[in-house]
Amino acid sequence: MNCPYCGILFSLDGVNADHSFPKFSSFHPYRRVPSKSDNTTTDDLAKKYSITSHRCPDCKKPIMWLNEIEGDLGAEERKIISTTLLFPKFPVKQIPIEIPEKFAVDFREAHDTLSVSAKASAALSRRCLQNLIREQEGITEKTLFSEVDKLIKSNKLPKHLAKDLDSIRQIGNFAAHPMKDTNTGEIVEVELGEAEWTLEVLETLLLFYFVEEPKSSARRDALNKKLKEYGKGPML
């Protein structure tokens, strides 16, 4: 398991966790007197699920999982066949503080939406990508396709990043879906894996512009300053 807050990997065996079976009857938060039909404590559905709640062994924040179980209640061998995060609703995406809030908000939303709607997530990622290219590079064209093209041709990006960026257009099949290209933010069909890939490339670009490039620039400045002290011209 990975903690949805801090990301550390842990085993439930070493955690003080509470396990309980949910009830699909006999409970109503607003009904004080249970009806006859509510007397059942377990039913077929309850046998198939359990809820595990505990605190992260590292960051100590509360986590809740819904487990799907194979095997009848009371059977000797019952095993968990799938686990879904119940709380928090989504794993908390760690975003470096250097990334400006306006980009971080769209990126986080695209990340949180991915498991619910790939189409919505991809739309948010594309819009964020377009805003990033427009604001960071001052490139504004009629379509996202042309903006990406212009950015790649400017040779400002490291080769691997330019390649990744270009693949967004290919995987997304922009030619077949002009809405993606012209109205970024529009909810349209996505190709298999497109939402994940667009989000991944967007994250890499955000890190490049706001974390890696500024660090690298500061290193170059420091080196050139030293060279100047030794009476040499700048290296880069």
Contact residues toward Zn ion (CB under 5 A) are 3, 5-6, 56, 58-59
Residue number with CB closer to Zn ion (58 or 72): 58
For CA atoms 216, 218, 222, 224, give the dihedral sign. Answer: positive
Per-position DSSP letters for 83-138, written without gaps between them:
EEEEESSSPPPP--TTS-HHHHHHHHHHHHHTTT-HHHHHHHHHHHHHHHHHHHH-
Spatial CA neighbour of 116 closest among 85, 82, 81: 85
Nearest distance from C-beta of residue 54 to Zn ion, angstroms: 11
Structure-token pair, residue 48: 């198939």
Nearest distance from C-beta of residue 63 to Zn ion, angstroms: 8
Residue number with CB closer to Zn ion (60 or 232): 60
Count of CB atoms situated within 10 Å of the CB of 73: 12
Residue number with CB closer to Zn ion (58 or 189): 58
Nearest distance from C-beta of residue 58 to Zn ion, angstroms: 5
Nearest distance from C-beta of residue 55 to Zn ion, angstroms: 8
Residue number with CB closer to Zn ion (71 or 88): 88
